[in-house]
Every structure is written in structure tokens, then in C-alpha cells.
């Protein structure tokens, strides 16, 4: 196992050289992810090394433990071992409950180092992103409240473009400063960018993560160099074409199947007069699309399994893009219908309020109540079975160990792609859909930023409580960034520039305050200027803080000096040996 040393290099760990390796922020030698890898290796590394199979017996059942098989895998296949999962550390869990999950006084403040040491990098980065996003939301939330409470009269048409420009600059600055915070956290936690989030990547064998290189290309060492190059290029380009085909399948499915369904819902919402029926239709719609989305997710998983990627991190990013495409269509097409086709801003604001309130409140209720209900039902079912076996309906049955209690809790898993993603997928998806909703229709409903800020302050605590009390302790997953989600946020910023410019055009046209030709030209100029601002700020603000860069450069220089001196000593020693041999001869 490789670990970070004090000079910045990741070297194979050796016990007798323990002082050369960097310790964790809490003082421990190994991170939670590294300890879990050791546990996993020890547990699943028990294999039958005998010359023949071993007969094992459990109660009245006998079975064979074959040569070379893992003992735990054999016990799992026979249902003797039900599940292997990490237990919560009760002392640290209660400490985190007190100073994090139940600490409402700090609003967005979080003990990120403790979260990292307890849950690992990926969970800690999510909460760092959520906390920073919520803090930054306070500025547009204040602007939105001012626009909602203050009557600007005829100046409102002048104030809205100023608000829109401020929001775009805010979003661009947020994304850039998050990159800086991300690199600072990774440097503080001594995580190496070079190895990414997939520690299983191996380029020396037949399998490189999930990149399945044909065996004949590896084994045939005598192949002509030209033919070998052509074979690898053919394999590479066929993989690209396969990914392009799968992306085209997803896009066409969205256009041909999901788009008519979404437009039908939007049209029904527009023509129905009763607010009660509209509200009921929205609730029914939100429940029904869950089924279609899960179906699309299963299809996407099958398509991704046919694709070739360097590692699981790339596969997970591809899955994120495909699933977000489905959610993007179902979340925004109805809003686009009201905004761009009917130009009914009263209905648009009503739809945005319902989407924000219903979807976010419903999500919070479901993600916190469903795990508890599952746990209660499983506990009730087990106790009922035990009472039935004992023939007694009285007395409370106690669980013999904490492991039994935690086994009944649901796992922190994603709604799709369990082997690639954990429960953070759904949490990131919720944030991305919220960001798109408040950004792309900012001019129509500025108060949405205040709703989002209040929701996210609650989200920090409820998500923490969910991880600490409602679910099993999640398996640690390595990561250096938030992955594809940052690219999705960047995409939504560009989309918001286009949609808000269109909203301003139709809003001004409805008010009759301008002439369409010069007004449209002014909006188009503003759109292009904002796009330039977006890409300009991306270059203006460094993605890496100066102290992180200086520290990295200094350590790289130290590594180069040490390697140079070691190489010179090796060369000098080799020359002395060669001269001695010559003299002897």
C-alpha cells in the first residue's frame, strides 16, 4: 500500500520507516479509507491453500471449501455470512452528532477534518461543497428578498438586468473559488491528485480498471510494431464509437419518449383552471417520473457496462452525465414550456414555487423517514419471528450485539448504479437540480435563492443525521474532486445565461417599454458579454491557492534532488565496481 511521505511522494509503506510517512489530521497513521482496505484484505484474504478441498460444517449443513477460494466468499454464497459492513464508532459518532449533526447554531460551519477522518474523502468533499454553496447562497438570497419586498415601480425593468448580471458573476466566482477550496482541502488531507479516485487502476496487466484490453494484444509480444499500433488504435476508436452510440441512444430516448410525456404534463397544467387539481397533478407527476427515471437508470447502467473506460471513476462520471440528462429533461422541460412558449410569468412563478417546495420538502421527508421506517419494519419482523418460534407473545426481545442492530439499518446506497456510486449521487443530484432551477429562471423568480438557502441550511444537518443515525456507516470511497458534478454546474451556468436573456426579452416585450430591434440587440450583446465574463473569470481566478502551489513545487524540488543524489551514488558505485573488475582481470 502506498502512502504519502513528508517530501510529497507516495511510496510503498514499510513499518520500520514509519517516521517518513505523513500522519492524518487527527494524528493517526492511516486514514479511514486505508484502514478499510486493510480490513478488507485481511477478511477476504483467507483462502484455502491446501492441496484439496476442505469440508466445512455449519449446524447440520456440510459444504466444500474449494482450493483457492476465499472463505468469506464461500460463507456468503451459503448465506451463513449475511453481510460484511463497517460498524459505527460509538464514541466518535456521538461526538459528531453533538458538534455537527445537531449543532444548528453554526448554520454552515462543519468539522470537516473530523468528517474526513470518520467517513473518508468523498463524503467530506460533499459536505465541504454543500457548506460553501450554502454560505455563498446568502448573497443572492439577500438580493432576491430586496427585489421581492421593495417596490421599484418602473425601475424594476432596470433592476432585473443588474440582478441577473450579479447572479452570473456570483455563480462563476463560486465555481472558481470552490476549485481553490477543493485543492486546499486535498493538500491539507495529504491526498495525491495523480492517482485520482480509483486505487484499483493497474496499467501493467490485462485489466486496467474497467478498460478491457484484448488478451491477444497483451500476449502477442512478437507482433509487428505497425500492426500492434493499428490494433490498439482500432480498439481505441471502436470504444469511442461505442460510447458515442450509447450517448446517442440515451439522447434519442429522451427526445422521443420522455419529451412528449413532459410536454403533455406541462400543457395539462396550463389549461387546467383549478389550483387544487394543479397541485394534485404536480404531486402525481413527481411520483410517476420516479419510475421512469429508475428505468432509464437501469438502461444507462447496461449501456455503460458495454463501454471501455480507464477506471471506475470515469465510468461513474459517464453514468452521472447520462442520468442527469434524464433528470434535466423531466425537471425543466415543463418550466421551459411555460416560460418560453406561453410567456406566462404568473404561472411560471407558481410552477417554480411548487417545484421548489414540493420536490425539496418531499425529498427531505423521504430521505430521512424511509430509512427509519425500513429499520423499524425489519426490527419488528425479526422480533415477531422470534416470538413465534418461542411461542410467547410477551416480553421484549433484545438484540445480543450492536452489529445486529446496525445490520437492520439500510445501506447508504445510490438509487441507481450501486456498484459505481453511493448515496452521495442522490444528494449531489438534488443540489444540481436546485441550482439549475434557481439560476435558469432567476429573473422570473428572484426569491427562489432565499428558499434554496433555507433548504440547504437544513440539508446540512439532515444529511449528517442521516449518515450518523439512519444508515449503516458507508464504505469509504477515495476521491480528489466532486467529479462530473462540477462540469454539470458549469453547464447550468451557461444555460442560465441563455434562458435569463430570453426571459428578459419577453418580459420587456410584454411591458411594451422598448422597441424589439434595439432591445433584442442589447440583450444579445449582454449575453455574449456574460459568456466572455464566465470564461474570463475562469482564467482570472487561479484554481490553486499560492501556498498549495508553492508547497507542491518545493516538495517536487526536494524529490528531484533526492532522486538525483541517489542516482549519482548508484552510478558512482557502479563505476567503482567496474574499475575494480578491470584491475582484477
Predicted confidence at residue 460, as pLDDT, reads: 92
Any domain includes 505: yes
Any domain includes 79: no
Q: Measure the CA–CA gap between 353 and 481, rounded to whole angstroms.
A: 32
Produce one character per residue of 313-330: b if its CB has 16 or more CB atoms within 10 Å, e if not.
bbbbbbbbebbbbbbbbb
Q: Measure the CA–CA gap between 97 and 556, rounded to whole angstroms.
A: 40
Any domain includes 242: yes
pLDDT along the chain (585 residues), means of 10: 79 85 84 88 88 86 87 88 90 92 87 92 94 95 90 77 90 92 89 50 33 49 64 74 77 73 74 77 73 73 72 79 82 73 73 75 76 82 76 61 85 72 84 91 88 91 91 88 91 89 76 57 73 75 79 76 76 58 49
With residue 61 as reference, give the H or E element that holds it. strand 61-65
Any domain includes 580: no
Q: Residue 34 in contact with residue 50, Cβ under 8 Å?
A: no
With residue 452 as reference, give the H or E element that holds it. helix 448-465
Q: Measure the CA–CA gap between 369 and 430, rounded to whole angstroms.
A: 17
With residue 314 as reference, give the H or E element that holds it. helix 312-336
Predicted confidence at residue 132, as pLDDT, reads: 95
Any domain includes 535: yes
Q: Measure the CA–CA gap between 396 and 516, rounded to whole angstroms.
A: 76
Which residue range(s) make up the domain with 414?
92-196+236-388+399-544
In terms of Cα–Cα distance, which of 349, 367, 327 is closest to 451?
A: 349
Helical axes 312-336 vs 424-440, angle rounded to 10°: 40
Structurally, the chain folds into a number of domains equal to 1
User: What are the backbone angles phi and psi of residue 307, rounded to the nearest 5°?
Assistant: -100, 160
Any domain includes 182: yes
Predicted confidence at residue 354, as pLDDT, reads: 74
Any domain includes 241: yes
Any domain includes 480: yes
Amino acid at each position: 500500500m502506498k502512502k504519502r511521505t513528508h517530501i510529497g511522494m507516495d511510496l510503498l509503506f514499510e513499518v520500520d520507516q514509519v517516521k517518513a510517512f505523513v500522519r492524518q489530521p487527527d494524528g493517526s497513521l492511516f486514514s479511514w479509507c486505508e484502514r478499510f482496505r486493510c480490513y478488507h484484505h485481511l477478511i477476504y484474504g483467507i483462502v484455502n491453500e491446501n492441496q484439496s478441498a476442505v469440508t466445512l460444517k455449519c449446524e447440520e449443513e456440510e459444504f466444500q471449501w474449494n482450493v483457492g477460494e476465499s472463505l468469506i466468499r464461500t460463507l456468503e454464497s451459503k448465506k451463513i455470512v449475511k453481510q460484511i459492513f463497517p460498524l459505527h464508532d460509538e464514541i466518535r459518532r456521538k461526538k459528531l452528532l453533538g458538534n455537527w449533526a445537531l449543532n444548528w447554531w453554526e448554520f454552515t460551519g462543519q468539522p470537516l477534518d473530523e468528517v474526513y477522518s470518520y467517513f473518508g474523502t468523498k463524503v467530506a468533499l460533499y459536505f465541504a461543497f454543500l457548506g460553501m454553496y450554502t454560505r455563498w447562497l446568502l448573497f443572492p438570497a439577500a438580493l432576491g428578498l430586496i427585489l421581492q419586498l421593495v417596490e421599484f415601480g418602473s425601475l424594476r425593468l432596470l433592476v432585473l438586468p443588474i440582478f441577473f448580471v450579479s447572479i452570473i458573476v456570483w455563480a462563476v466566482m463560486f465555481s472558481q473559488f470552490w476549485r481553490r477550496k477543493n485543492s486546499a482541502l486535498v493538500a491539507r488531507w495529504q491526498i495525491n491528485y495523480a492517482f485520482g479516485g480509483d486505487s484499483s487502476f493497474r496499467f501493467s496487466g490485462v485489466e486496467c480498471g474497467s478498460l478491457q484490453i484484448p488478451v491477444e494484444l497483451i500476449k502477442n509480444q512478437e507482433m509487428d510494431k505497425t500492426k500492434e499500433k493499428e490494433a490498439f488504435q482500432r480498439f481505441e476508436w471502436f470504444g469511442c464509437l461505442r460510447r458515442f452510440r450509447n450517448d446517442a441512444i440515451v439522447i434519442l430516448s429522451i427526445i422521443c419518449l420522455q419529451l412528449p410525456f413532459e410536454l403533455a404534463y406541462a400543457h395539462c397544467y396550463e389549461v387546467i383552471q383549478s389550483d387544487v387539481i394543479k397541485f394534485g397533478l404536480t404531486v402525481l407527476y413527481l411520483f410517476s417520473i420516479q419510475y421512469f427515471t429508475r428505468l432509464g437508470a437501469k438502461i444507462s447502467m447496461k449501456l455503460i457496462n458495454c463501454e471501455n473506460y480507464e477506471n471506475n471513476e470515469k465510468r461513474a462520471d459517464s453514468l452521472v452525465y447520462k442520468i442527469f440528462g434524464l433528470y434535466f429533461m423531466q425537471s425543466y422541460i415543463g418550466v421551459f414550456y411555460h416560460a418560453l412558449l406561453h410567456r406566462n410569468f404568473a404561472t411560471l412563478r407558481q410552477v417554480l414555487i411548487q417545484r421548489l417546495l414540493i420536490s425539496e420538502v418531499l425529498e427531505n421527508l423521504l430521505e430521512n423517514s424511509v430509512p427509519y421506517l425500513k429499520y423499524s419494519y425489519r426490527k419488528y419482523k425479526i422480533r415477531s419471528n422470534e416470538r413465534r418460534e418461542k411461542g410467547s407473545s410477551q416480553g421484549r426481545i433484545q438484540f445480543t450485539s450492536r452489529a445486529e442492530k446496525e445490520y437492520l439499518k439500510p445501506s447508504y446506497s445510490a438509487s441507481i448504479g450501486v456498484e459505481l456510486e453511493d448515496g452521495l449521487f442522490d444528494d449531489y443530484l438534488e443540489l444540481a437540480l436546485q441550482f439549475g432551477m434557481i439560476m435558469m429562471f432567476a429573473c422570473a423568480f428572484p426569491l427562489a435563492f432565499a428558499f434554496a438557502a433555507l433548504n440547504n441550511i437544513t440539508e446540512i444537518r439532515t444529511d449528517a443525521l442521516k449518515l450518523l443515525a439512519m444508515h449503516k456507516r458507508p464504505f469509504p470511497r477515495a476521491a480528489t474532486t466532486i467529479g462530473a458534478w462540477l462540469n454539470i454546474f458549469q453547464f447550468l451556468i451557461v444555460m442560465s445565461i441563455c434562458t435569463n436573456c430570453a426571459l428578459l426579452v419577453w418580459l420587456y416585450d410584454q411591458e411594451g417599454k422598448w422597441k424589439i430591434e434595439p432591445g433584442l440587440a442589447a440583450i444579445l450583446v449582454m449575453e455574449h458579454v456574460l459568456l466572455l465574463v464566465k470564461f474570463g473569470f475562469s482564467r482570472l481566478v487561479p484554481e490553486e491557492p499560492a501556498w498549495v502551489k508553492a508547497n507542491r513545487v518545493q516538495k517536487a524540488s526536494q524529490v528531484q534532488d533526492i532522486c538525483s543524489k541517489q542516482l549519482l551514488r548508484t552510478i558512482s558505485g557502479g563505476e567503482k565496481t567496474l574499475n575494480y573488475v578491470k584491475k582484477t582481470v
